[in-house]
Amino acid sequence: MTDYTMPLRARKEALDQYSFVCTCVRCSGDMNVYQVPAPHAAANSAVDVSGVSHAAVTVTDKTVQDMAAKYTAEPAHLPDSLPARYAALKAQYHASRNLIDANLWAVSPVPQLLTETSIYFAEQGNFPYALALVALVATSCDPYRYAAPFHPVRVKNIFMMAKLLANTAENTGNTLAAATARGGLGQRLQEVLSDMDQVSLCQMLLILIVKMCPGELADWELCLSARDMLADIEMLSGREKELSLIDGWAANGEAETSKVFFEYAVVKQVNILAGMGREAVRIVLMSRSEVLNR
């Protein structure tokens, strides 16, 4: 099955074998991923971690749309070995430079490239960089590619953020000292994490996942894993103040105080991480050094 966010030519090729011509608005108008959710751009819900809207959704001229159409492409295959994958990632970033420079993060192949780079960082044990890139995907790619906040892809990326936060929260003290010695973006990212209540952010993201898995979805393996992680967090001592705020938000997310709390504790923090992700991408894109291996 072809992902409906892929370029029109790829969707048409996938349907040719069925002798089927799709006449939906997306296909007939060759709309990009920013144009499709435009009628619902203001419909962010209390479970949306992005809190942002892209200029391409409402832009009046065709400059951005034409650029998205011109440079969209299917993601290229990546080698299995880490050294070869590093070289392939660098090459794909250069090939996608026009989209990145225009902040068209949601246009293929950029989302897939970001995800693969996050996986690369995680496999290298560089959890802060992996976290920053997943946050970038969750805020600048997923809301446009998959408009519903409860779409499985969006839920999976929120869960990935929570898992990475569990790693960064545990190791911030040790990695901050090492990053400070090196300086640069790594140090700034560690400083951001050290100033952030990572445990509370992780907990609230996990609660979001549980809220988005009602009924039979409660037995989804991802939801069960989220519940297990929540149980572990709830056993931590010395978090009475944080828990009172989080419990109030979890009980009634539509209350005005809860909305303000969610905006600060989740939306703002995730977007800070996403900003670091943008910096990481551009350093990877521009640098001639082995940035990915640091």
Cα of 171 vs its chain's centroid, Å = 22
Q: Side chain identity at 220, as an amino acid letter?
A: W
Nearest-angstrom CA–CA distance, 102 and 107 = 11
Q: What integer is the mean pLDDT of 82-98?
A: 89
Weakest-pLDDT range from 116-120, 139-143, 181-185, 264-268:
181-185
Peptide bond into 152 cis (omega under 30): no
Per-residue confidence (pLDDT) for residue 160, from 0 to 100: 98
**CA 97 – CA 105 distance, rounded (Å):** 11
- In terms of phi and psi (left: phi > 0; alpha: psi -120 to 50; beta: otherwise), the region of 44 is beta
Angle between helices 110-123 and 82-95 in degrees, nearest 10: 150
Q: How many CB atoms lie within 10 A of CB 187?
A: 15
- pLDDT of res. 174: 63
Highest mean pLDDT among 31-35, 39-43, 45-49, 162-166: 162-166
> Is the Cβ–Cβ distance between 201 and 264 less than 8 Å?
no
> What are the residue boundaries of the structural domains of the chain, listed by start?
1-44+54-70, 93-285
Q: Give residue-wise pLDDT tens across range 216-244.
A: 889 999 999 999 999 999 999 999 999 99
pLDDT band of 12, cuts 50, 70, 90: confident
The answer, yes or no, to whether residue 294 has pLDDT greater than 80, is: no
- pLDDT computed for residue 293 by the predictor: 44
Q: Which bin fits 184, alpha (ψ -120 to 50), beta or left (φ > 0)?
A: left
CA distances from 97 to 54, 113, 140, 252, 259 (A): 18, 12, 16, 43, 37
Q: Say if residue 27 is exposed, middle or buried (CB neighbours under 10 Å; 0-12, 13-18, 19+).
A: middle
Q: Do residues 50 and 139 make contact, with C-beta atoms less than 8 angstroms apart?
A: yes
Say if residue 196's pLDDT is above 80. yes
Alpha carbon distance 172, 193 (integer Å):
7
Q: How confident is the model at residue 292 (pLDDT cuts 50, 70, 90)?
A: very low
The answer on pLDDT for 48 being more than 80 is no
Q: For 249-273, how does the pLDDT look when each residue is reduced to its tens digit (9 = 90+)?
A: 999 999 999 999 999 999 999 999 9
Nearest residue to 114 (alpha-carbon basis) of 103, 152, 125: 103
**Does 63 have pLDDT greater than 90?**
no
Q: How far, in whole angstroms, is CA 122 from its chain's centroid?
A: 14
- Give pLDDT, residue 55: 60
What angle (nearest 5°) sits at the alpha carbon of residue 14, between those of residues 32 and 105? 30
Structure tokens at 195: 């100033």
Higher pLDDT, 67 or 286: 67
Tell me: the pLDDT tens digits for 142-172?
A: 988 988 888 999 999 999 999 999 999 988 7
* Mean pLDDT score of the chain: 85
Report d(CA 199, CA 177) in Å as an integer.
20
Nearest residue to 33 via CA among 118, 126, 108, 123: 108
